[in-house]
Amino acid sequence: MTPDHSARPEGRSSPAAPGLDRRSFLGAGACGAAVPLLGAASAAAQPAVAAAPDVRRPLDVKLRINGQDHRLALDSRTTLLDVLREEVGLTGTKKGCDQGQCGACTVLLDGTRVLSCLTLAVMAEGRAVTTIEGLARPDGSLHPMQQAFVDHDAFQCGYCTPGQILSAVACVQEGHAKDDAQIREYMSGNLCRCAAYPNIVAAINQAKSEMGA
């Protein structure tokens, strides 16, 4: 997917700053195409689809990523994955298949694991996004799952690892890591070309006790 960069007044994101002038920052301001539809009562008086918005206008999108607010001007087609990597500069989240088949792009939305390649960025508004960069503590010490992946050599090339780790954190929190068979079943959405699966299962078993599950 190629977002239409020509339509975007500002290419890069900035952390939202208080008092930032909205129009000078976004250009499009309130003209973005995210038009909330009218309720039934007012719909009779006005058409629900307000005067055809211009598809070239970027959307004004506010995202909370790893505890930090970002304001972005985005083509409606932009996926959360592309925002993370191309706009916000968080390249830990990986693009594998880009069609929901490999799990490399897994992130947490309000603590729930989802595929960022099949999530429109605008649909993540109002939800807390957690990427691999947001897992470690502020002092830099690793999350127990990250440490367990290191301890058990749970990767070779490492490309699927950020997705594996986020998926594994959620797997434990969901209560779906009771035994090896359940871990394998509930981690089946994360493919590993290097086939580090036995070590991934071992890492999850170690981390789950440290996570208090």
Partner 1 sequence: MQPFIYQRAETLEAAAQAAAASRGSHVEAPVQFVAGGTTLLDLMKIDVMRPATVVDINPLQERYGAIATDDKGLRLGALARMAQVADHPSVRRDFPVIAQTLDLAASQQLRNMATLGGNLLQRTRCNYFRDVSWAACNKRNPGSGCAALDGMNRKHAVLGTSDQCIATYPGDFAQALVALDATLEIAGPQGRREIAVQQLHKQPGSTPNIETQLVPGELITAILVPSAPWTRRSLYLKVRDRESYEFALASAAVALDIADGEVREARIALGGVATMPWRAKEAEAALRGRRLDEAAAEAAAEAAFAGAQTHEHNAYKVPLGRRTLVRALLDAARLEIRS
Least distance CB 194 / partner 1 (angstroms): 17
- Asked if 71 and 125 count as a contact pair (C-beta separation under 8 A), the reply is no
Size of the site for partner 1 (CB under 8 A): 47
CB 37 within 8 A of CB 29: no
- Tell me how far apart the alpha carbons of residues 137 and 124 are, in angstroms, rounded to a whole number: 23
Q: Which of 70, 71, 94, 113 binds partner 1 (CB under 8 A)?
A: 113
Q: Which stretch binds partner 1 (CB under 8 A): 19-27, 64-72, 128-136, 178-186?
A: 178-186
Q: What is the DSSP letter of 143?
A: P
186 binds partner 1 (CB under 8 A): yes
- Among the listed residues 93, 146, 167, 199, the single contact to partner 1 using CB under 8 A: 167
Contact 79, 2 (CB under 8 A): no
Q: At what angle do helices 161-174 and 144-151 cross, to 10 degrees?
A: 120
Q: How far is the CB of 60 from partner 1 (least distance, A)?
A: 12
User: What's the per-residue H, E or C state across 154-185?
Assistant: CCCCCCCHHHHHHHHHHHHHHCCCCCHHHHHH
The single residue among 93, 119, 130, 146 that binds partner 1, judged by CB under 8 A, is: 119
Q: CA-to-CA distance for 159 and 94, rounded, in angstroms?
A: 7
CB nearer to partner 1: pick between 24 and 112? 112
Residues making contact with partner 1 (CB under 8 A): 1, 4, 33-40, 43, 48-49, 52-53, 55-56, 59, 75-77, 79, 98-100, 103, 106, 112-115, 118-120, 122-123, 167, 170-171, 174, 176, 184-186, 188-190
